Amino acid sequence: MDSTAREFQPRTFSIKLWPPSESTRLMLVERMTKNLSTESIFSHKYGLLGKEEAHENAERIEQLGFTSADEHFNKEPDGDGGSAVQLYAKETSRMMLEVLKKGPRTTGSEAIPIADTSLEPGDTILDISGGKRAFIEADEAKGLLSPLTIPGNSYKRICFSNRSFGVGAANAAAPILQSVKSQLTEVDVSDFVAGRPEDEALDVMRIFSKALEGSVLTYLNISDNALGEKGVRAFSELLKSQENLEEFYVMNDGISEDAAKALSELIPSTDRLKVLHFHNNMTGDEGAVYVAEMVKRSPNLDSFRCSATRIGSDGGVALSEALGTCTHLKRLDLRDNLFGLDAGIALSKTLPKLPDLVELYLSDLNLENEGTVAIVNALKHSAPQLEVLELAGNEINAKAAPALAECLTAMQSLKKLTLAENELKDDGAVIIAKSLEAGHTDLKELDVSTNMFQRAGARCFARAVANKPGFMQLNINGNFISDEGIDEVKEILKAGKNSLDILGSLDENDPEGEPDDGDEEEDDEDAKDDDGEDVLDSKLQNVQVEDDD
């Protein structure tokens, strides 16, 4: 949900992106349920949610996110809905993070209301982010923060996200925060000045920064505050005093070159940092240099996200080289940047230095065939333990398929593979599918949507996953699969160990579509050999993917 919308060339027709279909909303709920109940860096720290609790939260989050986005869309009905989709994604992502941070319920009862002053002294989390986003002023701030004034309280984690503080509210909060700052370890002040004039927002940040200066935090989230350089420097006193940070989130904050430089200057030591997340900023190549400096000083990073930050080739090279110092990295997310070939080559040289890598997100980086081949050749030998690999939107075609297939053969721990929005066509699809057919018993999700393949490619992917235990979702939407091909896919899946439930939506499949270069699948009669087998299928019998190990 954390990917940004693509920029399309102007068309002569309009497409309404909002509202999403009911199936899309249900699919989002299921994905959130999986994310909330799957082991991650959050579950290791805060505990793992059970399936039932995760599903309840996912339904609530989706409904709240949909309502907010729908209200936004109705205010500008002449738009295509793109901004509503972005808000929908942002709100659901934000609320998911909040749920993960809260951890599982300790009892079967519902959570205690946030501002209930009857909270016991032993409680450790104060979260006022629930309910509708709203401005709060001095009196309400005192009431919301009153649990922090109870003698002997044990609060260590506070979340003020989703409530907009004015100067009066900030001044009311400051002495309360100062009184407990020595016991605080986690502070979330993301999205806490929304709708305020810039001068007032900056004053609020300075007040909070001064109040929390000297606290010994392991977690700090200042996302969604449109900081820019002024906002970053408004947090100077707080940032400069933090020498024990383990998790730092600066997402959707307008982090430009100057703001990135300010961050690099103000964070005094990042030796302990394990999680560093940038997303949806305007960092660019120049700003990436300063982010790279922070990365170099963070050898213990295990999760780094720098997605949708407008980083091009030069910045991508600098960042890729800096990541070579992070030899404990487990999760790397660089999606939706403008890396291109040179940065892809630089990244391929760094990947062998990251032996613990488990999740790798490299979608929409303009890697093309050459950059992709360099990366998968590096991964083939260095990351057989990889569980998540995303390479969507990189203009990968059949020429890169053999190298990619060899890499995938080595990755027997793979749980999720995303190759959507490429140009594999049937020739590439059958090679990739063949590499996944044997082994890969842990594979749960395969997304090969929008890849220009037809009936043969679809059948091959169906065969590849039909008998995998626990497989959950096959996405072949947005391709050119005939009605007969869809029927065959369903028959293959029904004959396997999984049900048809694993087949994702086909609402964007075009049965009459053809690849744009004339390499379309032959007519049914011409595509049969004497035994009635499809020629392309018979070719598959001779496809071998070698493991160099």
List of residues 6+ apart from 160 with CB closer than 8 A: 128, 129, 188, 189, 192
268 pLDDT band (50/70/90 cuts)? confident
253 pLDDT band (50/70/90 cuts)? very high
Higher pLDDT, 53 or 408: 408
Q: Are strands 303-307 and 186-188 parallel, antiparallel or unpaired?
A: unpaired
Give 401: exposed, middle or buried? Use CB within 10 Å, 0-12, 13-18, 19+.
buried
CA 366 to chain centre: 18
Task: Determine contact, residues 341/368, Cβ cutoff 8 Å.
Answer: yes
3-state secondary structure at position 346: helix
198-212 vs 167-180: helix crossing angle, rounded to 10:
10
pLDDT greater than 90 at residue 294: yes
3-state secondary structure at position 304: strand
Distances (CA, A) of 369 to 344, 379, 396: 10, 15, 5
Higher pLDDT, 110 or 419: 419
pLDDT greater than 60 at residue 119: no
Q: Is the dihedral of CA 171, 175, 177, 182 positive or negative?
A: positive
Determine the average pLDDT of the residues in 231-259. Answer: 95
pLDDT of the residue at 116: 36
pLDDT of the residue at 38: 76
**Other CB atoms within 10 Å distance of the CB of residue 68:** 19
pLDDT greater than 60 at residue 318: yes
pLDDT greater than 60 at residue 106: no
**pLDDT tens digits for 377-435?**
999 999 889 999 999 999 999 999 999 999 999 999 999 999 999 999 999 999 999 99
Q: Are strands 163-165 and 134-136 parallel, antiparallel or unpaired?
A: parallel
For the question of whether the overall pTM of this predicted structure is more than 0.85, the answer is: no
3-state secondary structure at position 331: strand
Higher pLDDT, 89 or 219: 219
pLDDT of the residue at 408: 97
2 pLDDT band (50/70/90 cuts)? very low
- The chain-wide mean pLDDT, for the chain, equals 85
User: Hey, what are 545's tokens?
Assistant: 């993917």
490 pLDDT band (50/70/90 cuts)? very high
User: Hey, what are 40's tokens?
Assistant: 């991650």
pLDDT of the residue at 495: 92
Identify the bridge partners of residue 447 per DSSP, sorted by sequence position. 418, 475
pLDDT greater than 60 at residue 534: no
pLDDT greater than 80 at residue 473: yes
Distances (CA, A) of 465 to 179, 361, 458, 500: 57, 22, 11, 12
- Comparing 69-73, 311-315, 438-442, the range with the smallest average pLDDT is 69-73
pLDDT greater than 80 at residue 102: no
Closest CA to 3 of 329, 361, 254, 247: 361
- Separation CA 364–CA 395 (nearest Å): 9
Higher pLDDT, 297 or 132: 297
Q: Are strands 163-165 and 359-361 parallel, antiparallel or unpaired?
A: unpaired
